[in-house]
Structure 1
Amino acid sequence: MIVVNKVPMTDTEKPQVRFIKVDSEDAGQRIDNFLMKTLKGVPKSMLYRLLRKGEIRVNKKRTKPEYKLQNEDLIRVAPIRVSENTNVVSTQLNVVANLEQQILFEDDRLIVINKPSGMAVHGGSGLSFGLIEALRALRPDARMLELVHRLDRDTSGCLVVAKKRSALRHLHEQLRNKTVQKYYHALVKGRWSSKLTRVTDALKKNDLKSGERVVVVDNINGKAAETRYKVIQHYKNASLVRAFPVTGRTHQIRVHCQTKGHAIACDAKYGHEDFDQEMKSLGLKRLFLHAASIEFTHPLSEQRIKVEAPLEPSLEKLLKKLTKATAH
């Protein structure tokens, strides 16, 4: 895709005609969906009106919103003023700059980033700014940046972002086929038994009147879920465990830990009050759940790659304060 005149306009500039040439990466998409991603800041209703009036044409011809783009199609977009909201990004420049240091792997197909705790993966639900918006500000020339999967806002660690549609499709197929391996590290309450290697309680999402979403164990009406566990280190009153989610249900690891009596440290939804207070007294200020590594097949080379994300210093510091317990 080649975009002409993509530079944001000042108030005094006149809008220019845009020409967008479609390549094989973008072929096959409906034109309305393609334009929503390409012409950021243009309302959907306006795009439909422009298509209907012939202000947006493909190969000099009028087209309908459901038209599927072909390789080398030339899209002409009449002069329109795009109201891009740059204020949100400008107030978060320190966050954007910090993200550059968190990139673990990058090539022309994808980015793997060590997502900070407390940062939503995208804007919405009262948030106008998330990690994907920050990455787009960091890589303004990138054709596309789309989340391959998600992490809870309070969870840190490996997050994969696709830079091409073909990479996004390839990785989504791997997720469906369960060939992506994601390992998490969690600090949990109490002594986790080395014999507890699998939790298979079914999970069901409940929406409370407040609008808050909570997940509960429901082995009758819930969806099948499986998490595999391995103890990394026992501490006095706590355990550091490795969790491998075989399925990908909402809050799966957190609820599976809670239901076995081993709530994750500082989990605002599913935590244990006394344990959380103890961990907070030692300096913990966030959920201790970290996506430590991810392994998948690279969309282009077809080679398996594994990317690891180090724990942030505050979590390392906490572990050093804990008293190690001997195995028994």
Structure 2
Amino acid sequence: MYNNTFSKNIFIIAPEFAEQRIDNFLHNKLKGVPRSMIYRILRTGAVRINKKRIKPWYKLQTGDEIYVPLIRIMRPQDMNISKKMAIVTALEDSILYEDEYIIGLNKPSGIAVHGGSGLQYGVIEALRSLRPATDFLELVHRLDRDTSGVLLLAKKRSSLRMLHEQLRENSMEKNYLALVQGRWPMHVKIVDVPLLKTIQLNHHSTVKVHQDGKPSRTLFQIKEHYSHIATLVKASLVTGRMHQIRAHALHIGHPIILDNRYGNSDFSKHFKGIGLQRLFLHAATLSFTHPHTKKITLISAPLDKQLKNCLQRLRFSATPLK
């Protein structure tokens, strides 16, 4: 059953739409049509501009004649809204930057970067369904499932290779915001201790400080104190080990709030009482050399509403945990 039909449409591009990408133009014009369907008809050549096939990133010119074929979409109540669709919907609104070479998005907390470990669907699978016309799409790096913030993906193999080289050379700058328990000491600005990966009985991986571990180095900067209750810190990765910031914060004696592997569960309960339901670790900025333009590119991801509300409560309430 279908409730909407877009018959054979012809659009003539007015000057105010010039330089807009064709995929974005169609997404705005064809209300209710999933972006994945738009990419499919572009990829297959069903959409023509001036009677020619075009790429999804084609930029419109004044006077362009766009031909769009018959499109049918299902009624929302007839659709099987699955967990996959929920992830796709969340990510569609989380894209911070995109061009022909890379995608930068603000990954929500609670979504894994890829399927596996009992998860059938993650960021990479969702984005591939959103970008069916993209022949190549791979993760440049990873974020923990419970960590939010900037995640970078490559749309070309050459881009992935160049960005991975920056990771190996530690020339990619990654800065996080973390809310930690207690008052972070002023003198602790660098944590430089080796981390060893371990496997727990439930098959979950963790890391611990150990002399046989891999060299691991994190820079910390105090951003804001909240009495003796908590501290907002900026954590900058010099190396990129699994759970590095979380393990280093624990090593100093100030674990991240609501960290279910390295945190203090009794202390975290107080924060659940003020509405925080997730790990307070956010990849705030990512700076790198663009694989095509060779210019320094900075992508910033804002805090989500839950993290902002938590900080507001800590700032303005005299007794935030009561």
**CA shift for structure 1 position 194:** 2.2
- When residues 298 and 210 of structure 1 are mapped into structure 2, their CA distance, relative to the original with a 3 A threshold, is same
Q: Is the 8 A contact 1:89 1:134 kept in 2?
A: no
**CA shift for structure 1 position 89:** 9.2
* Residue aligning to 2:57: none
- Which of 258, 263, 269 is the matching residue for 1:266? 258
Question: Is 2:225 aligned against 1:225?
Answer: no
* Residue aligning to 1:125: 117
Question: Is 2:277 aligned against 1:285?
Answer: yes
**CA shift for structure 1 position 210:** 2.2
Q: Equivalents in 2 of 1:274, 1:201: separation in Å?
A: 27
Residues 166-211 of structure 1: per-residue CA shift (max 9 Å, x gap): 1000100000111100000000000012221000111001112221
Give secondary structure in 1 for the equivalent of 2:103: strand
* Residue aligning to 1:191: 183
Write the letter of the residue equivalent to 2:267. Answer: F
Q: Equivalents in 2 of 1:284, 1:90: separation in Å?
A: 26
* Residue aligning to 2:248: 256
* Residue aligning to 2:202: 210
* Residue aligning to 1:201: 193
Q: Is the 8 A contact 1:89 1:129 kept in 2?
A: no
Write the letter of the residue equivalent to 1:234. Answer: H
Query: Matches of residues 8-47 of structure 1 in structure 2 within 5 Å?
Result: none
Q: TM-score, normalised by structure 2?
A: 0.72
Give secondary structure in 2 for the equivalent of 1:133: helix
Write the letter of the residue equivalent to 1:291. Answer: A
Give secondary structure in 2 for the equivalent of 1:290: strand
**CA shift for structure 1 position 324:** 6.7
Q: Which runs of 4+ in 1 moved over 6 A?
A: none
**CA shift for structure 1 position 91:** 4.3
Write the letter of the residue equivalent to 2:187. Answer: K
* Residue aligning to 2:238: 246
Aligned Cα root-mean-square deviation (Å): 2.0
Q: Equivalents in 1 of 2:259, 2:142: separation in Å?
A: 18
Query: Matches of residues 1-328 of structure 1 in structure 2 within 5 Å?
Result: 91-218=83-210, 220-236=211-227, 237-323=229-315
Write the letter of the residue equivalent to 1:163. Answer: K
Q: Is the 8 A contact 1:235 1:324 kept in 2?
A: no
Q: Is the 8 A contact 1:89 1:137 kept in 2?
A: no
- When residues 253 and 91 of structure 1 are mapped into structure 2, their CA distance, relative to the original with a 3 A threshold, is closer
- When residues 278 and 91 of structure 1 are mapped into structure 2, their CA distance, relative to the original with a 3 A threshold, is closer
Q: Is the 8 A contact 1:88 1:129 kept in 2?
A: no
Show structure 1 runs of 5+ residues with no match.
Answer: 1-5, 8-86
Give secondary structure in 2 for the equivalent of 1:92: helix
- When residues 208 and 94 of structure 1 are mapped into structure 2, their CA distance, relative to the original with a 3 A threshold, is closer
* Residue aligning to 2:5: none
Q: Is the 8 A contact 2:246 2:255 kept in 1?
A: yes
Residues 121-140 of structure 1: per-residue CA shift (max 9 Å, x gap): 00001001000000011111
Identity of aligned residues (%): 49
Write the letter of the residue equivalent to 1:320. Answer: Q
Q: Equivalents in 1 of 2:269, 2:171: separation in Å?
A: 38
* Residue aligning to 2:36: none
* Residue aligning to 2:53: none
Q: Is the 8 A contact 1:227 1:253 kept in 2?
A: yes
**CA shift for structure 1 position 273:** 2.1
Write the letter of the residue equivalent to 2:134. Answer: A
**CA shift for structure 1 position 99:** 1.1
Q: Equivalents in 1 of 2:83, 2:266: separation in Å?
A: 37
Tell me how many residue pairs correspond in the alignment. 241
Show structure 2 runs of 5+ residues with no match.
Answer: 1-38, 41-78, 318-322
Q: Is the 8 A contact 2:87 2:111 kept in 1?
A: no
**CA shift for structure 1 position 271:** 0.5
Q: Equivalents in 2 of 1:126, 1:274: separation in Å?
A: 28
